[in-house]
Amino acid sequence: MPPEFSDQSRWFVENLQPHEDMLRAWLKSRFYELDLDDVIQEAYLRVFKAHEKKEVRAPKAFLFATARNIALNMMRASKVRGLQEAARFEDLEILDEEEDIQENVARNQELETLTMAIQSLPKKCRQIFTLCKVYGMSPKDIATELGISLPTVYAQLAIGVDKCSKYVLSCCNMKTL
């Protein structure tokens, strides 16, 4: 990498840019009617701003979650404005017009809490947990991909589920106080 790159540019090139092709394919399979360039650009901007405020410990997962939320918001906005019609029946389930605003806010808070729980995991545990729970890889494939034993994958998944559960429960308990 050229020496004239700033730390922020280096972080972007190392942590976000390598995932663009995968992100674009993932978005295209779910939100094919949106302008993906706009979604990806906005996601980059939001993740980058979040990183400037506080270290983003799982940039790939945060990027995908951010892009998903942006795409969903764009779908909702286009439906409200009447600019586009949903082309697939499955998409209509996402855009339930009767959904209560409080439910939407609660779901976003739950997603934020879960993201923070995943980010709080140790690096290897977070990597294994994310590959399995977010990207749907099998434990066997994860073991092969990372060059570790299958029992290690299962142990790290158990640790990840336990720690995430405790994190989420502790956040719920703090909110009820």
Considering only 17-31, 49-63, 84-98, 120-134, which range has the smallest mean pLDDT?
A: 84-98
Helical spans, DSSP H, in the chain: 7-15, 20-30, 36-53, 59-81, 89-94, 101-119, 123-129, 139-146, 150-176
Q: Which residue has the higher pLDDT, 114 or 42?
A: 42
Residue with tokens 């399979």: 29
**Rounded to the nearest 5 degrees, what angle is found at the Cα of 76, between the Cα atoms of 70 and 78?**
100
- Rounded to whole angstroms, how far apart are CA atoms 15 and 26? 18
pLDDT > 90? residue 154: yes
- 84 pLDDT band (50/70/90 cuts)? very low
pLDDT > 60? residue 151: yes
pLDDT > 50? residue 83: no
Domain ranges for the chain: 1-98, 122-177
What topology is assigned to 122-177 in CATH?
Arc Repressor Mutant, subunit A (1.10.10)
pLDDT > 90? residue 56: no
Q: Which residue has the higher pLDDT, 13 or 99?
A: 13
